Structure 1
Amino acid sequence: MSDDTTRWSTFDRLRRHRRIRLAAGLTAGTVLVTGGLFWLSGGWDAWQHDRALDSACGGTLAADPVRELVAGAEVEAEIRTGRDWWQCRVSEVDDEEHGRIDVRVTVSDRRSPIVSLDAEWKDAPLGHGWTGGFSFDPDAEDRGEASASVRLACADRTSAEPAAPVVAMVRARIDRADFGRADVRSALTSVLTGTTTAYARQFSCRVTEGEPVRQVGVSVNAWDYKPFASVSGSCAGIVDGRTAARWGVRTAVETAPGPKAVEGCTLGGMRGAPLYTFSASYGEALEWLERERLEDLAHEPPGDAPDGHYALWADCPGREAGAAYTVAPQGNRQSEASDLALDHPGLRAALRSFAERSAKAHGCHIKAG
């Protein structure tokens, strides 16, 4: 190799090394400039703030669906506790910029009205392996407000023994949200189920999760009646067509099938006028005053109840407090009921059909009597 070739080869290597060093320098400089702009623009604070959601409320908050709900708004989370409840609250940092955001997941492993108060049979079932309901009135003017509840069977973390069930509720008020949209309802449901299961596993018990809730319905109202012949949800199988005709039943208000803490069905006459309401209440959803009243009713001597109000009870697995099922005439029938106006054997048979179907979905068994 000639001396000229050697010199050019050495020069070429030096030039390449210089380009590499220069490129590295430019890259580092670009990173510094970009990082500085990111810092000055508040991006660093926003990034840190967003990452804080992943560890919010002791690491139990279901952060991803919260991000979906707040749509980029800056929020903060805090833990609140009471004697028999725990709450993770998410709220806005600047409500003037993003509007009001208030999402509260409240969990209890004991009977507490703070989590069971809003459970209604007209709520849409969560389905997908969960026992719970979603409450949103599609006719409401405020479409940024909704709630949902869930009950989880619980086993002790150190043994196979059942523990008290975990009950939880989420209440949301988000100005920018529209819970009339199925994806927004699913996101709020994911906040509830994800946070509740994480809390239960961290502090309380072993639970079995349901599947992700991709679709959840909305609450029904008294005017959401349908022809009785088309029932397929909570009213299905209660009475046959001949009995319905004899009772004057033409319509029904029902929810989609699926286990909830409170279930029910209203059979109605023309234009949805309510005639008979069937209801089922599980565990802590049955308030103690109502429980005492129904227990007294269940222990009455056999025979026809003058007001047509009947009750059945069920034993449920684990340490649940059982379940109660009732049927009651509605409207004028309840105050003016008579032996001639009411089909008492038919009412008792219809209540048993309703109770057995509901109990089966919860793994419960109707008590004899």
Structure 2
Amino acid sequence: MSEETVETQEQELDRMRRRRRIRLAAGLTAGAAVVAGGLFWLSGGLQAWLHDRALDSACDGTLAADPVRELVGGAEVTAEVRTGRSFWQCRVSEADEEYEEDGRIDVRVTVSDARDHFATVDATRTDAPLGHGWTGGFAFDPDREDRGEASATVLLDCGGTRGGGVVAEVSARIDRADFGHPEARTELTAVLTRTATAYARQQEGCEVTEGEPVRKVATSVNAWDYEPFASVSGSCAGIVDPRTAARWGVRTAVETAPGPKPVEGCTLGGLRGAPLYTFTASYGPALERSTRDLLDDVTDQRAGDAPDGRYVLWAECRGAVDRAAYVVEPVGGERDRTTDLALDHAGLRTALSAFADRSAKAHDCTVTVD
């Protein structure tokens, strides 16, 4: 046998050994995958995966699953739809209510037809505006101990016809969350806006007007969050001129950033933030029927100056808002004053008109003059 033939045979044997090693390695890899898959299934990983995937189609396919995942931080949750006489609700809670390791999780998005008699909005003038083209507010008090609780509200139009639209709210109690962090507030806002928009689009005849993704939202203001009146730039800007403010004893103000919300407001105060006058704008479902009737009575009593200095203006609006009320009220009213001469009635009416005009413009409403 020649040396060339021997060398060829040895090369062929070497190739065969390498193929066997490759096959063996491939077999071991496949076996390891089967074992790993079994361990994944036995450890509950498959069940967790199924829970997670179920969020994508939860609540009739309307739930904004991705921001929910961010908020709950990997905890297993379930979602269900609840309906009542005048509302639709998507509720997210812990998959196992008896399992406390992941803490308390309760997130609810509630949607109602804005034209419904029972539709209401749990909002205040201290809420931070959502901005980015949304009519909505975010409520979180950074000074409260429970930092895992927050809520937000949004009004959605369905094509611009008067009264046509939905009002939606989200409330959250998540022990592991901290809504003092901007990221958590952004995620909860996304849960609200995306879920409410998806629901509205499923309703016949609702061509919902959608804002942009909310990239940053502030927190609520409190009575002690006052600033010098001379530096106002938000909801208190332009209501009272400096000369009138000095005559009224106004030195401070509590305001939110500018932006349309269901309830807007401004508080003008004296030294160290002591409140003197409050201005409030309430839109659509934020104006409860009982309050609306009461304000109608105040409006009807137009003869002369109001003894308590409380004045009301109204606006006609489109979409989910329908109607809005604007109120100015001295803090304490006549109870804290020995004479109505202490009130600048003409000045109060002028200030209310300025407040109403600016707020109505932001909501595409028209202040009515009877």
**TM-score scaled by structure 2?**
0.91
CA distance in 1, matches of 2:161, 2:330: 41
Q: Give the match for residue 330 of structure 1.
A: 331
CA distance in 1, matches of 2:367, 2:347: 18
8 Å CA contact 1:278–1:326 kept in 2: the answer is yes
SS in structure 2 at match of 1:97: coil
8 Å CA contact 2:334–2:340 kept in 1: the answer is no
SS in structure 2 at match of 1:264: strand
Q: Give the match for residue 93 of structure 2.
A: 91
Q: CA separation of 1:87/1:62 partners in 2, compared to 1, >3 Å: closer, same or farther?
A: same
Q: CA separation of 1:4/1:114 partners in 2, compared to 1, >3 Å: closer, same or farther?
A: farther
Q: Give the match for residue 21 of structure 1.
A: 23
Q: Give the match for residue 270 of structure 2.
A: 269
Query: How far off is 1:203 after superposition?
Result: 3.0
Q: Give the match for residue 166 of structure 2.
A: 166
Q: Give the match for residue 208 of structure 2.
A: 207
CA distance in 1, matches of 2:218, 2:117: 24
Q: Give the match for residue 306 of structure 2.
A: 305
CA distance in 1, matches of 2:140, 2:84: 27
Q: For structure 1, which segment, 90-99 or 69-78, has the greater mean C-alpha deviation from structure 2 after superposition?
A: 90-99
| Percent identity over paired residues | 69
**Partner letter of residue 193 of structure 1?**
T
Residue pairs, 1:94-173, within 5 angstroms: 94=96, 95-111=99-115, 116-155=120-159, 164-173=164-173
8 Å CA contact 2:162–2:317 kept in 1: the answer is no
Query: How far off is 1:363 after superposition?
Result: 0.7
8 Å CA contact 1:115–1:168 kept in 2: the answer is no
| Alpha-carbon displacement from aligned partner over 1:146-179 (angstroms, at most 9, x marks no partner) | 1111111112xxxx86762111001111111111
Residue pairs, 1:1-369, within 5 angstroms: 11=13, 14-15=16-17, 17-94=19-96, 95-111=99-115, 116-155=120-159, 164-204=164-204, 205-318=206-319, 320-331=321-332, 333=334, 336=337, 338-369=339-370
**Partner letter of residue 344 of structure 1?**
H
8 Å CA contact 1:307–1:335 kept in 2: the answer is no
Q: For structure 1, which segment, 103-112 or 119-128, has the greater mean C-alpha deviation from structure 2 after superposition?
A: 103-112
CA RMSD of aligned residues (A): 2.3
Name segments (4+ residues, structure 1) moved above 4 Å. 2-17, 111-115, 160-163, 332-335
SS in structure 1 at match of 2:328: strand
CA distance in 2, matches of 1:346, 1:91: 52
| Alpha-carbon displacement from aligned partner over 1:213-257 (angstroms, at most 9, x marks no partner) | 121111111121111111111000000000000011111111111
CA distance in 2, matches of 1:301, 1:25: 91
CA distance in 1, matches of 2:73, 2:178: 12
| Alpha-carbon displacement from aligned partner over 1:293-347 (angstroms, at most 9, x marks no partner) | 2223223345322221111111112363211111111125455374411111111
Q: CA separation of 1:35/1:161 partners in 2, compared to 1, >3 Å: closer, same or farther?
A: same
Count, aligned residues: 365
Q: For structure 1, which segment, 131-140 or 325-334, has the greater mean C-alpha deviation from structure 2 after superposition?
A: 325-334
8 Å CA contact 1:274–1:331 kept in 2: the answer is no
CA distance in 2, matches of 1:298, 1:137: 34
Point out where structure 1 has 5 or more consecutive residues left out of the alignment.
none
